[in-house]
Amino acid sequence: MSELKVLVTAGAGGIGRAIAEAFSATGALVAVCDIDVEGLKQLERELPDLMTVQCDVADVSSVERMIDQVTEQLGGLDVLINNAGIAGVTAPAGELCLRDWEKVLRVNLTGTFDVTRCALPYLKAAGSGAIVNMSSVAGRFGYPNRIAYSTTKWGLIGFTKTLAIELGEFNITVNAILPGAVDGPRFQSVLEGRAKVSGRTVDEETQAALASQSIKRLVDPRHIADLAVFLASDSGRSISGQMLPIDCDMQHTS
């Protein structure tokens, strides 16, 4: 693992940061991009061995510059973690404006495509690589009042399956991780959005979310990171085109 060159998008916080930390702990060379400049500065202070690059994945020119910088500094690329995504507003489909719909698609789907497209020549040149796309339980179930988000996460499933078929001949594996309710600020904001729509308290929304799980707790981001590291390791080389839920056995969204 020590020679792996890894790029994590949206890695300044949350799941992305946990993944970057996990790869770095193995001795891999890790680059993190994010739109959050302050988050990147904090990451630089706390983990100075990581390379950081400001990037807006919704801007193709920003993506192209970022890939050029990362591959030049790392000396290539072996692993791409497509973690960048936004939740969008919480609202019924009939009340969602076109601008808000397109904003989510631009980041979650088109942004992921742009990063992957730009990274592919380097992954192919490596002779053996791995792509991990961050989908969601929303890519397995419907998601009330989050239609744009759910649509993009379902879209990443087709994206993953197709890439796995296309890239097999280059010895590149492609898989999707589907996290459930993950502990951290992002899920708290989701709960707050649900509470505004439903009129219930945030605590009531938390209990409602956990009610659909066999294991009644939030997912630890470190467990998602461990799965990503495994998929990129030698032990994961025979796994491709798969959708891997990590959600405490969630039965449905609420």
- Local confidence pLDDT in tens for the 254 residues of the chain: 458 999 999 999 999 999 999 999 999 999 999 999 999 999 999 999 999 999 999 999 999 999 999 999 999 999 999 999 999 998 999 999 999 999 999 999 999 999 999 999 999 999 999 999 999 999 999 888 999 999 999 999 999 999 999 999 999 999 999 999 898 887 788 788 878 888 999 888 888 888 888 999 899 999 999 999 999 999 999 999 999 999 999 988 76
50 and 146 assigned to the same domain: yes
| d(C-alpha 134, C-alpha 153), whole Å | 8
Q: Give a yes or no: residue 165 inside a domain.
A: yes
Residues 81 and 139 in one domain: yes
Query: Which residues sit opposite 176 in a β-bridge?
Result: 133, 243
Question: What gap in Å lies between CA 187 and CA 183, rounded to an integer?
Answer: 7
pLDDT at 2: 52
**In terms of domains, do 118 and 72 share one?**
yes
Within this chain, do residues 31 and 129 fall inside the same structural domain, yes or no?
yes
Q: Which of 134, 180, 182 is nearest to 155 (CA)?
A: 134
Residue 220: what pLDDT?
94
Q: How far apart are CA 136 and CA 245, in angstroms?
A: 8
Residues 191 and 84 grouped into a single domain: no
Task: Out of 141, 149, 154, 187, pick the active-site residue.
Answer: 149
Q: Give the number of other CB atoms < 10 A from CB of residue 57.
A: 27
Question: What is the dihedral angle through the alpha carbons of 15, 18, 23, 27, rounded to the nearest 10 degrees?
Answer: 160
Residue 251 in any domain: the answer is no
Residue 29 included in any domain:
yes
Q: Is residue 252 one of the residues assigned to a domain? A: no
Q: Is residue 149 annotated as part of the catalytic site, yes or no?
A: yes
In angstroms, the CA 164 to CA 107 distance is 21
Q: Are 136 and 198 within one domain?
A: no
Burial 29-47 (b: 16+ CB within 10 A, else e): bbbbbbbeeebbeebeeee
| 232 and 124 both lie in a single domain | yes
Judgement on whether residues 133 and 191 belong to the same structural domain of the protein: no
Number of domains in the chain: 2
In a shared domain, residues 118 and 228: yes
Q: With respect to residue 254, please indicate whether it lies within any of the assigned structural domains.
A: no
Q: What is the pLDDT of residue 254?
A: 64
The answer to whether residue 247 sits within a structural domain is no
Closest CA to 66 of 47, 51, 85, 86: 51
For residues 156 and 113, state if they share a domain: yes
List the CATH number of the domain containing 14: 3.40.50.720
Domain shared by 20 and 67, yes or no: yes
Range of the domain at 33: 5-180+220-241
Q: Is residue 135 part of a domain?
A: yes
**Torsion angle defined by CA atoms of residues 246, 218, 86 and 195, in that order, rounded to the nearest 10 degrees:** 140
What are the backbone angles phi and psi of residue 75, rounded to the nearest 5°? Answer: 85, 30
Q: Residue written as tokens 């993953």?
A: 160
Domain-embedded: residue 117: yes
Do 188 and 112 sit in the same domain of this protein? no
